[in-house]
Amino acid sequence: SFPESVREEDLDAVEAQIHCKLPNDYRCSFRIHNGQKLVVPGLMGSMALSNHYRSEDLLDIDTAAGGFQQRLGLKQCLPLTFCIHTGLSQYMALESVEGRNKYEIFYQCPDQMARNPSAIVMFITGTSYLEWFTSYVNKVVTGGYPIIRDQIFRYVHDKDCVATTEDITVSVSTSFLPELSSVHPPHYFFTYRIRIEMSKDALPENACQLESRYWRITNAKGDVEEVQGPGVVGEFPVITPGKVYEYTSCTTFSTTSGYMEGYYTFHCLYNKDRFFNVTIPRFHMVCPTFKVSTA
């Protein structure tokens, strides 16, 4: 649920407080709703790994105004979201300063190799509030982002990233994690969610168990790494007709993009001498456009 909408005079008061004009699309949005108080899960999506959790709230106007930045690197930037677990925010630039375009929206992370401590890297997530918000909502309402246990997860699924071997279908969705990434040194962190499903029309005797995995990982320079091992994330799932198994894992690249592909090896439960490989379709991971501040 949302707090009540914001009055025009309250938006005017925020502009007077921060000495910057708010864009009309942002003002219109807050005339309809006033974001969220700091709660979990956040409206603007979650991400979960075994040792990492992020959930972004859409900030209410008072909290956003209180977080308005005047420091070097983030000068005249207004926070739009906040995660209480990671401290991560998405910011909107209210002026064209420090290399940003006016109303550009971005995640920020420190430039670890810069001599200037105020230098930050900005991973661009939108060119305006309207474009940023409506593109997110569109992904939610069209099923582009999965809703798992009443949380929106920011995994992007390529509809062509599906492979079927015999009765088993494998599909993949991916996400970039800015809070675990850096540009200098180059370290781009991605997570992927894999869905393994056996057709409900498969014969019962086709039930099988995953034995091992093989990955071929290629970065943007063409460097290839091969990885193989038992099971997936420490598990050896049994797949039966109509059953779905999903898991999440992660990888990093030293380049801004890369891709993975491979196969799982299964054995049949009713014919333990029979092993077969199930294709994992190639899936691409691409870092968002980024800039380095000129502070």
Give pLDDT tens digits for 256-274: 999 999 999 999 999 989 9
The angle at the Cα of 133, spanning 131 to 137, to the nearest 5 degrees, equals 115
Q: How do residues 43-79 score in pLDDT, each as one tens digit?
A: 999 999 989 999 999 999 999 999 999 999 999 999 9
Q: How do residues 167-216 score in pLDDT, each as one tens digit?
A: 999 999 999 999 999 998 999 999 999 999 999 999 999 999 999 999 99
Domains of the chain, CATH where assigned = 8-140 (3.40.1580), 155-289 (2.60.40.1470)
The predicted model scores a pTM of 0.92
Cis peptide bond upstream of 185, omega within 30: yes
Task: Examine the pLDDT at 111 and tell me if it is beyond 80.
Answer: no
Q: What percent of the chain has pLDDT over 90?
A: 86
Residue 37 pLDDT level (bands cut at 50, 70, 90)? confident
Give the strand pairing for 151-152 and 147-148: antiparallel
Whole-angstrom Cα distance, residue 250 to residue 191? 4
- What count of other Cβ atoms lies within 10 Å of the Cβ of residue 38? 12
What pLDDT is attached to residue 138?
96
Q: How do residues 63-72 score in pLDDT, each as one tens digit?
A: 999 999 999 9
Asked if 165 and 135 count as a contact pair (C-beta separation under 8 A), the reply is no
